[in-house]
Amino acid sequence: MSAVQKQTADVFSSDWRSFATVRRIEHCLLRPGGVAVQWDDGRKSLFHTEWLRDNCPCETCVHPVTREQVFEIIDTPVDLHAESAGLNGQGELAIGWSDGHRSVFGAGWLRAHAYDHATRLERLSAERTVQMWRNDLPIPTFDYQAVMSDDRALLAWLLASRDVGLTRMVNMPTTEETMEQVARRISFIRESNFGVVFEVRTKVEAVNSNAYTTLELPHHTDLPTRELQPGLQFLHCLVNDATGGDSTFVDGFAIAHQLRLEHPEAFELLTQIPVSFRNKAPQSDYRSLAPIIGLNARGEVSEIRLANWLRAPFDVAERDMPAFYQAYRTFSALTRQPEFIVRKRLNAGEMWCFDNRRTMHARQAFDQASGMRHLRGCYMDRDELLSRILVLQRAE
Ligand code: OGA
Ligand code: ZN
Ligand code: ZN
């Protein structure tokens, strides 16, 4: 058996998912510096020598059990080149290297990772899954039993939590352990100084949060005082017999988008100038410094960070202070505009799950004398949600 045939038979994905051959390689051409591939839909992709060598999926370069790379490109000479490039019987790209090594790349994997302009644009648009919303959002609603027993229902719930950033679960038991069970169906809960699970009900000594009073809470994200705000927040209602206390939500991304369109200079200030947030209590003192509108590495809005009552005094250059206050007012005013506000009362046996780094939540004041109100909450990082989605999608 030749080396190429053996590698083809043993080929495994260095990822844990498989890459279907959506497009066949029509032909390939060895060029100085790389290999030009022509696909059966006419697309042309250039793969540079170093890139191909770096991504060799063979069992010497990638550990067959961990599927993580053991090869380091720095161990190859800079003048390493491909001596042959061709298609094998499976339509895979086989490369013979000047140092004798051989690599085989599946067409599906290669197309999924190609970096020609058109493929990169395609990938970028596939990764942009955010669906922005306003007050007419039909809140995506999911059944507890279905999510607990069926992976497809679980995936649908998680995709909505990722893309819409606000979901509701119904028909849940009102027992204490239920929310944790549902959260653990996704992954690890993120513990905080408020506990693995926090209880939202009035406390006699509400020393560490306004949430534990009967006050109205304006639209906010939770734990803006942390370097990394929790991604998902769950709020499970055990009892809601009090008058008032309805939940409202706004899509922070939709608001940031509106601000960018109508007040670009305010948008700029809120993305550039950091604000410090503080949560101080007798036994803790959490502080963070970050802008209210966070951008990701591509310059897209990826995070909102704001709880009015957890801000430290603005520490902004003198010349910028008036404009910064104006920007802050404009943004906050948008969070009060009815066209953005989704309002719904959470009843016993229902649960909110929302993207706490995007969807700002609020609660109306309630009357403690009129009845009990008891919610339980917990957090989870976005990474856990995204990882669970990808693993569930492997089975599709
Ligand atoms: C909170 C909070 C919402 C509610 O505890 O941070 O937003 O409905 N609670 O009580
Ligand atoms: Zn290799
Ligand atoms: Zn909150």
Question: Looking at residue 288, which CATH number applies to its domain?
Answer: 3.60.130.10
Q: Are residues 111 and 194 in the same domain?
A: no
363 lines ligand 1 (CB under 6 A): yes
Q: Which of 375, 376, 378 should be mutated for ligand 1, with most atoms under 8 A from CB?
A: 375
145 torsion bin: left (phi>0), alpha (psi -120 to 50), beta (else): alpha
pLDDT digits (tens, 9 = 90+) for 90-130: 999 999 999 999 999 999 999 999 999 999 999 999 999 99
247 lines ligand 1 (CB under 6 A): yes
Residue 10 confidence class, pLDDT cut points 50, 70, 90: very low
Q: Are residues 251 and 114 in the same domain?
A: no
Residue 7 is encoded by which pair of tokens?
Answer: 């590698």
At position 90, the amino acid (one-letter code) is Q
Average pLDDT of the chain, as a whole number: 93
Residue 382 is encoded by which pair of tokens?
Answer: 């976005």
Q: Are residues 172 and 44 in the same domain?
A: no
Q: How far apart are CA 5 and CA 104, in angstroms?
A: 9
- 168 is a domain residue: yes
Q: Are residues 148 and 111 in the same domain?
A: no
> Hey, CA dihedral for 201, 352, 354, 366, is it positive or negative?
negative
266 lines ligand 1 (CB under 6 A): no
* Ligand 1 atom closest to 377 (CA): 5
Residue 214 confidence class, pLDDT cut points 50, 70, 90: confident
Q: How far apart are CA 302 and CA 21, in angstroms?
A: 32
- Confidence (pLDDT) at 30: 97
For residue 296, what are the domain limits? 141-394
Q: How many domains does the chain have?
A: 2
- Confidence (pLDDT) at 74: 97
In whole angstroms, how far apart are CA 48 and each of 4, 51, 115, 116, 150? 20, 5, 10, 11, 44
- Confidence (pLDDT) at 16: 84
- 8 is a domain residue: no
> Hey, CA dihedral for 116, 117, 122, 127, is it positive or negative?
positive
357 lines ligand 1 (CB under 6 A): no
What residue's CA is closest to ligand 1, atom 7? 362
- 263 is a domain residue: yes
Quote the percentage of the chain above a pLDDT of 70.
Answer: 95
Task: Using the predicted structure, report yes or no on whether residue 223 has a pLDDT greater than 70.
Answer: yes
* Ligand 1 atom closest to 363 (CA): 8
pLDDT digits (tens, 9 = 90+) for 300-330: 999 999 999 999 999 999 999 999 999 999 9
Task: Using the predicted structure, report yes or no on whether residue 11 has a pLDDT greater than 60.
Answer: no
- 359 is a domain residue: yes
For residues 276 and 289, is the Cβ–Cβ distance under 8 A?
yes
Residue 205 confidence class, pLDDT cut points 50, 70, 90: low
- 4 is a domain residue: no
- Which burial class, exposed, middle or buried, applies to 68 when counting CB atoms under 10 A from its CB (0-12, 13-18, 19+)? exposed
Task: Using the predicted structure, report yes or no on whether residue 6 has a pLDDT greater than 50.
Answer: no
- Of all helices (H) and strands (E), which one includes residue 170? strand 166-170
Q: Are residues 172 and 111 in the same domain?
A: no
Residue 206 confidence class, pLDDT cut points 50, 70, 90: low
242 lines ligand 1 (CB under 6 A): no
What residue's CA is closest to ligand 1, atom 3? 363
Residue 213 confidence class, pLDDT cut points 50, 70, 90: confident
Q: Are residues 373 and 292 in the same domain?
A: yes
Pairing of β 366-367 and β 275-281? unpaired
Q: Are residues 242 and 355 in the same domain?
A: yes
Residue 12 confidence class, pLDDT cut points 50, 70, 90: low
Q: Are residues 163 and 287 in the same domain?
A: yes
At position 280, the amino acid (one-letter code) is K
Residues 6+ apart with CB under 8 A from 62: 14, 56, 68, 69, 70, 71
Quote the percentage of the chain above a pLDDT of 90.
Answer: 85
Q: Are residues 264 and 354 in the same domain?
A: yes
Q: Are residues 268 and 387 in the same domain?
A: yes
Burial 148-163 (b: 16+ CB within 10 A, else e): eeeeebbbbbbbbbbe
Q: What is the DSSP string of 359-381?
A: EEEEE--EEGGG--EEEEEEEE-
Domain boundary among 93, 123, 153: 123
- Between 177-186, 226-235, 364-373, the lowest mean confidence (pLDDT) is in 364-373
- Confidence (pLDDT) at 8: 38
- 2 is a domain residue: no
Q: Are residues 263 and 200 in the same domain?
A: yes
- State the DSSP code for 194: T
What residue's CA is closest to ligand 1, atom 8? 363
Helices 321-335 and 264-272, packing angle to 10 deg: 100
CA of 79 relative to ligand 2 center, distance in Å: 17
In whole angstroms, how far apart are CA 282 and each of 154, 206, 245, 317? 40, 11, 28, 31
Domain boundary among 91, 123, 155: 123
What would the mean pLDDT of 240-258 be, rounded to a whole number?
95
Task: Using the predicted structure, report yes or no on whether residue 9 has a pLDDT greater than 90.
Answer: no
CATH number of domain containing 98: 3.30.2020.30
What would the mean pLDDT of 273-300 be, rounded to a whole number?
95
Domain boundary among 123, 154, 179: 123
- 51 is a domain residue: yes
- 135 is a domain residue: no
- Which burial class, exposed, middle or buried, applies to 208 when counting CB atoms under 10 A from its CB (0-12, 13-18, 19+)? middle
Q: Are residues 233 and 87 in the same domain?
A: no
